[in-house]
């Protein structure tokens, strides 16, 4: 088990349900995330421009490395339809070393040496 400052980040993003798969596939194809899950039905309540809102959204749960975190945030902002998308990066306190090695491999930029 890897237990120091984690080089792995779990990234949470909410989005319209009909765009979740498109966003996730684009991030996977760019090798910005190694894995992603779509929870298709979450109800979000939030303040927006002085009004209390309620929407049905999808929740993306994705994993990436420290090296790919900044480009991932940029890509999400580019792909996401919201003016201010929710993008949260969580740092796990521990990670299986084999999973961490796999994640590093699949998120490596394709023009970078192994």
Per-residue pLDDT reduced to its tens digit, 45-78: 999 999 999 999 999 999 999 999 999 999 999 9
**3 state DSSP class of 35:** strand
Tokens 């421009």 belong to residue: 49
Query: Which backbone phi and psi does 68 adopt, to 5 degrees?
Result: -100, 0
The model scores a pTM over 0.95: no
Domains along the sequence of the chain with CATH:
8-106 (3.30.70.120)
Per the CB < 8 A criterion, the answer to whether 34 and 24 are in contact is: no
Listed as ranges, residues in the chain with pLDDT below 70 are 1-5, 112-114
Q: How many helical (H) and strand (E) elements, i.e. helices and strands, does the chain have?
A: 3, 4
């Amino acid at each position: 088990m890897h237990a120091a400052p984690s080089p792995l980040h779990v990234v949470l993003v909410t989005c319209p349900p009909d765009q979740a798969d498109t966003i996730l596939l684009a991030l996977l194809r760019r090798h910005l995330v190694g894995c992603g899950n779509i929870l298709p039905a979450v109800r979000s309540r939030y303040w927006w421009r002085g009004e209390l809102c309620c929407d049905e959204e999808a929740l993306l749960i994705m994993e990436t490395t420290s090296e790919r975190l900044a480009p991932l945030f940029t890509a999400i902002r580019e792909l996401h339809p919201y003016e201010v998308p929710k993008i949260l990066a969580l740092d796990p306190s521990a990670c299986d070393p084999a999973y961490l090695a796999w994640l590093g491999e699949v998120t490596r930029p394709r023009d970078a040496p192994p």
